[in-house]
A and B are shown apart, each in its own frame.
Chain A
Amino acid sequence: MISAGIDIGSRSIECVTIKNGDISEIRKADTGFDPIGQAKQLINGLKFDRILATGYGRNLFEIEHNTATITEIKAHARGAVHFFPKVLSVLDIGGQDSKVIKLNDSGKVIQFEMNDRCAAGTGKFLEIMAKTLGFSIDTFGNEAMIAKKDLSISSMCTVFAESEVTSLVAKGENPNEIARGLHLAVLKRAVSMLNRVCPKGPVVFTGGVANNPFIVERLAQMTQREILVPQPPEINGAVGAALIAMENGKQIK
């Protein structure tokens, strides 16, 4: 049996199929402004017996394809257990929100916390800031890495941080150091949420922001914990959905 999971996030859509317990296909697309159209295109021609949707666009997909859905909390928890079976803490930093999930030894979610108020502390924040500084989001982490010292950015709100960045640039501060300051602001927020919900043990770090080398390195330093990143980290939610589809999903004709 082939089961599929589709994670319709605010920035990107990932779709994964699982055959005999292994990932057999990965497809990715930008969400854009037509998530359902994009999702439809993404699964076009894909072979599967069952499919389960997660992510913020899941309910639209459910109506469109008459399938079941699960929240991204449950999907990320299941995905993390697949990649790192013994792990009890999950940190996910996606495009629109960030979350920390605590699991028990059987992999069940026992507590979670989400930051979903605004773009603060998310991938979107880094993306907008990279643009303000004239960097590409793909290399933003490397730019932060080569800075000579840490710089402190106090505003976490995307709007206020943007004006803070503008005034730092006007003051003649080094753009790499400003980039590092912005990364540290995201990290500070993630670490305090992580410490509050699951303060001990290795952490599975998922979502697009886990591709950022500076964030991963500093996260390990700041928490003094082992940081485990599934490869690629952004498919974790879709993998979780596919696995749950296999375990108890709805049959699709």
Chain B
Amino acid sequence: MKQQLLKKLQQNAELNINDIEEHKRKGNHAIGFYCLYAPTELAVAAGAIPLPLCGTRHDPIEVAEETLPRNLCPLIKSSYGFAVSDTCPFFRFSDIIVADTTCDGKKKMFELMSDIKPVHVLQLPQQQNFDLFLEPWKNEILNLKTVIEDMTGNQITREKITSAIELLNRERKAKKRLMDITKATPSPLTGMELVEILFKTGFFADKQKGIDLIDEIIDVCNTLIKNGDTPYKIDTPRILLTGVPIGLGSDKVVKIIEESGANVVAFENCSGYKQTFQIDETKEPFLALAEQYLSIPCSVMSPNQGRIDLLDEMISQFSIDGVVDLTWQACHTYNIEAVQVQKFVNDNCKLPYLHIETDYSESDTEQLRVRIEAFLEMI
């Protein structure tokens, strides 16, 4: 039943490319997004398709390194490599790329990327102090609104932005329900399956189609839970993965953890649970967007107490036995924040913690396996 569903997901992902092509043929627009901080509601409100862009595979890194330094985070190199080699269909479909000044590596890479395609960079504040930074951030969002209106020729009215917020809130709710499935002990889904589902549903052009498919998956999972149908035992170690985002192609740590006999049940990262927020529908829409997006607890924020709060909540809700903190090589902010996360996990939660710094390549697989197995022996 689960396998059929994953197959259907794959078919839908393939059909989705046709949907985007069809939409573009009619003279509509597509907008590429790299980071969770950029409000995709603006694209939806202007009748454009928001597209997440590729950046989770190792193969385009070689071509990226012809231009970029080797000692750079693989996510940045992969994103640039996909763009420069024209191997990401979503990048190709995009009329404009919306990017953010999240970290130093990204913002300088985007300058180079703007030679390939128009890139609009949002100046993201690095602190969540609303008194100081909410107004400038809201202005950045309003500037983006104008850019999108000019490009598409469509006005983003109050009514349109409100209904875009309502639609994407429903999508985020569906994703949260999906990610909450693994709260069941033992979980009916493997971490690898959850990564695949989240990754593939992220690309849907028709948001409602995506939501319906997620709901269908949730129904099947609930039946599996009811029937006790699970690949795990009641005492299978339940792992929370925190840190940098992952996707298909950059999921080796999840794979090794699960090959070593544990189950990754929770993802505290921007490809996982950080996507589950809700925009306040009762407030002025642009203020509500600015507030909620600025509150995303990425390590680029200083300080970043929000991440610790989210970890605290997830560790208890998902009955976590151990925390693995993943940092992509040369990602300074996550690498340094690991010190605070370790202290919190060890001292406050009294749980084992493992910090891993790696890249997308397979070269250190066996070394990682030793560490991960030794970590699981601690549980």
Residues of A within 8 A of B (CB): 56, 70-74, 97, 108-112, 114, 116-117
Contacts and interface: CB of A to CB of B under 8 A. Distances in A.
B305 interface: no
Interface stretch (B210-218, B238-246, B368-376): B368-376
A112 B374 contact: yes
B346 A73 contact: no
Interface in B334-379: 346, 352-353, 364, 366-367, 370-371, 373-374, 377-378
What 8 A-B pairs come out closest when comparing CB atoms? A73-B374, A71-B374, A116-B367, A71-B373, A74-B377, A109-B378, A71-B370, A114-B371
Candidate in B366, B370, B373, B378 with the most chain A CB atoms within 10 angstroms: B370
User: Taking chain B's interface residues, is the majority helix, strand, or loop, or is none over half, making it mixed?
Assistant: helix
B370 A109 contact: no
A112 B375 CA distance: 8
Contacts of A74: 374, 377
Contact of B346 (A70, A97, A111, A114): A111
A52 B346 CA distance: 30
B253 to A, nearest CB: 15
Given A72-B374, A97-B367, A114-B370, 4 more contacts: A56-B366, A71-B373, A74-B377, A109-B377
Nearest to B260: A71
Contact of A71 (B346, B352, B353, B377): B377
Interface residues of B, number: 12
11 contacts: A73-B377, A74-B374, A74-B377, A108-B378, A110-B378, A111-B352, A114-B367, A116-B364, A116-B367, A116-B370, A117-B364
Interface of B: 346, 352-353, 364, 366-367, 370-371, 373-374, 377-378
A70 B366 CA distance: 14
A143 B352 CA distance: 42
A72 B377 CA distance: 11
A109 B377 CA distance: 8
B325 to A, nearest CB: 13
Given A56-B366, A111-B346, A116-B370, A70 B352 contact: no
A195 to B, nearest CB: 14
B374 A109 contact: yes
A70 B370 contact: no
Contacts of B366: 56
A109 B352 CA distance: 10
Contacts of B364: 116-117
